């Protein structure tokens, strides 16, 4: 089979389809009372969680790009399960221990975002990554919306400690499923998935990809040098996209973080469960947007690729073939294929953000803000999907690391935005606050056409440097 015809991965489409911070929010007043601490001090555990949520994937993601996805997944799930047991049993006179255990919990749970993106980068070819990232994005994006609903029900019915027992059981089940079923996907270890990995990297029940494993025990995966993930910040296109994504994500996080406070003040008849259910509106939009926009992104990629002229190859001259590969990489409009629908989603995102703020400011029927939250969630997950997919396209050999960089920057900006959102709301009012947030998004939008124009040249320069180093 020729290189063009050879599948990117041995896994079939079915085999490729493989909540923690915000579930804690509704129980904060109860925990504050139990620990005899102020709500502000208990809120500090949320801030610490968000800080570790941004930092820890940089370590786990880098190790996963070097030593494999499967052992890092198992380690993260084990850390998460153990920390949840500790949180469920923590004495109420040990506030410091609550802080430490929340840090460990963040280190275990948040890092799986980078690991999951790494698996998709390993098994999904560029023309199908959008669809897989669309489904994958549902978890980290919808989780903050359904977490408060689950957390509120558990805290009200069984007490705040039940939240952590629930998370412990869920993470333990994930650990067992990964141990039993997940194969190693890192291409530096298993290639396209057909090479037998060492025993530690094999699932206990090898049902995924078992019919395609290479029978040649001497087959070797391509070797790969270790690359410092911090160098990704020096890629101009990557840095610009990270900034753009962080600003839009921080606005989204400010919206979700202020739903409870604003809805309680505007619609005084709502109880805590009612307010929790309001989060399902934005979560439903994200669920729909993740599935649909991912497929549309793949369709757009294939449409542009079909329109590209075929490149001839010269088997006799390796130097010419290398030059042509660089030229082909530069000629293919990857940025256009990923970003050309961005203006549509961006306009919808900004308009729904402004409309949401003024609807709440005017105190209209609750149906208005809920519909706009649905649209906001749909457009937000579409934007996040586009940027995440493009980032992995730009550094497929460091897919976990680049996703960890994305998580670090957007969590940092998100934490900063959440820390000041109530101050801005009190100073400007609801309507003008969301006009301000939308204005921040508009200010960074020129990044998109700039990356579309300059991105191909930056990619070609990087490819040329890597080839010269090899």
Question: Would you write out the chain's pLDDT as a tens digit for each of its 470 residues?
Answer: 444 445 666 666 555 554 455 555 555 556 667 777 776 676 677 667 777 777 888 888 888 888 888 899 899 889 989 998 998 898 888 888 888 888 888 888 777 777 887 888 788 887 777 777 777 766 666 666 677 677 777 877 788 788 889 888 988 998 998 898 888 888 888 877 778 788 888 888 877 766 555 555 555 655 556 667 788 888 999 999 999 999 999 998 888 878 877 888 888 888 767 777 787 888 888 888 877 887 888 888 888 877 766 544 444 444 444 434 433 445 678 888 889 999 999 999 999 999 999 999 998 999 999 999 999 999 998 898 899 889 988 887 787 788 888 888 888 888 788 778 878 888 999 899 999 999 999 999 999 999 999 988 888 888 877 766 65
What is the Cα–Cα distance from 60 to 72, expressed in whole angstroms?
7
What is the Cα–Cα distance from 100 to 118, expressed in whole angstroms?
28
Q: What is the pTM of this model?
A: 0.75
- Show Cβ contacts of residue 60 under 8 Å, excluding neighbours closer than 6 positions: 72, 75, 76, 107, 111, 114, 115, 400, 404
Tokens (6 digits) for 37:
């601490």
Backbone dihedral region of 196: left (phi > 0), alpha (psi from -120 to 50 degrees) or beta? beta
What is the Cα–Cα distance from 430 to 164, expressed in whole angstroms?
34
What is the Cα–Cα distance from 357 to 433, expressed in whole angstroms?
7
Yes or no: say if 376 and 353 are a contact pair by the CB < 8 Å rule: yes
CA distances, 468 to each of 135, 275, 302, 314, 323 (Å): 37, 58, 30, 20, 11
Nearest by Cα to 349 from 264, 273, 444 = 444
Q: Domain 22-303+324-469 belongs to what architecture? A: Up-down Bundle (1.20)
What is the Cα–Cα distance from 192 to 455, expressed in whole angstroms?
28
What is the Cα–Cα distance from 110 to 76, expressed in whole angstroms?
9
């Amino acid at each position: 089979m020729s290189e063009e015809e050879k599948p990117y991965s041995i896994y079939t489409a079915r085999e490729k389809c493989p909540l923690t911070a915000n579930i804690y929010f509704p129980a904060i007043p109860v925990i504050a009372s139990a620990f005899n601490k102020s709500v502000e001090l208990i809120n500090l555990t949320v801030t610490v969680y968000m800080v570790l949520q941004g930092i820890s994937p940089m370590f786990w993601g880098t190790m996963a790009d070097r030593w494999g996805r499967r052992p890092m997944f198992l380690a993260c799930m084990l850390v998460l399960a153990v920390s949840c047991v500790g949180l469920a049993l923590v004495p109420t006179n040990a506030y410091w221990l609550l802080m430490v255990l929340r840090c460990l919990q963040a280190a275990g749970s948040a890092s799986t975002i980078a690991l999951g993106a790494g698996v998709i980068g390993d098994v999904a070819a560029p023309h199908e990554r959008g669809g897989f990232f669309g489904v994958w994005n549902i978890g980290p994006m919808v989780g903050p919306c359904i977490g408060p609903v689950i957390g509120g029900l558990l805290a009200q019915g069984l007490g705040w400690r039940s939240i952590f027992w629930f998370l412990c059981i869920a993470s333990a089940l994930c650990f067992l499923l990964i141990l039993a079923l997940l194969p190693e996907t890192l291409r530096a270890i298993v290639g396209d998935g057909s090479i037998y990995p060492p025993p530690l990297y094999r699932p206990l029940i090898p049902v995924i990809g078992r019919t395609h494993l290479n029978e040649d025990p001497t087959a070797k995966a391509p070797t790969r040098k270790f690359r410092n993930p911090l160098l990704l910040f020096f890629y101009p296109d990557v840095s610009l996209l990270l900034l753009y994504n962080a600003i839009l994500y921080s606005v989204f996080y400010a919206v979700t973080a202020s739903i409870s406070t604003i809805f309680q003040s505007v619609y005084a008849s709502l109880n805590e469960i009612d307010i929790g259910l309001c989060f399902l509106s934005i979560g439903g939009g994200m669920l729909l947007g993740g599935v649909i926009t991912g497929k549309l992104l793949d369709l757009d990629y294939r449409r542009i690729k079909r329109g590209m002229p075929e490149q001839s190859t010269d088997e006799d001259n390796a130097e010419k073939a290398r030059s042509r590969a660089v030229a082909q990489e530069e000629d293919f409009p990857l940025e256009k294929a990923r970003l050309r629908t961005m203006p549509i989603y961006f306009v919808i995102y900004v308009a729904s953000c402004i409309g949401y703020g003024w609807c709440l400011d005017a105190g209209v029927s609750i149906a208005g803000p809920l519909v706009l939250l649905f649209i906001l969630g749909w457009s937000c997950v579409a934007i996040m999907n586009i940027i995440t997919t493009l980032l992995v396209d730009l550094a497929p050999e460091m897919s976990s690391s680049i996703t960890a960089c994305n998580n670090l920057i957007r969590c940092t900006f998100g934490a900063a935005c959440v820390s000041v959102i109530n101050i801005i709301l009190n100073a400007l009012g609801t309507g003008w606050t969301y006009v301000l947030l939308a204005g921040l998004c508009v200010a960074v939008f020129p990044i998109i056409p700039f990356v579309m124009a300059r991105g191909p040249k930056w990619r070609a320069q990087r490819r040329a440097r890597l080839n010269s180093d090899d």
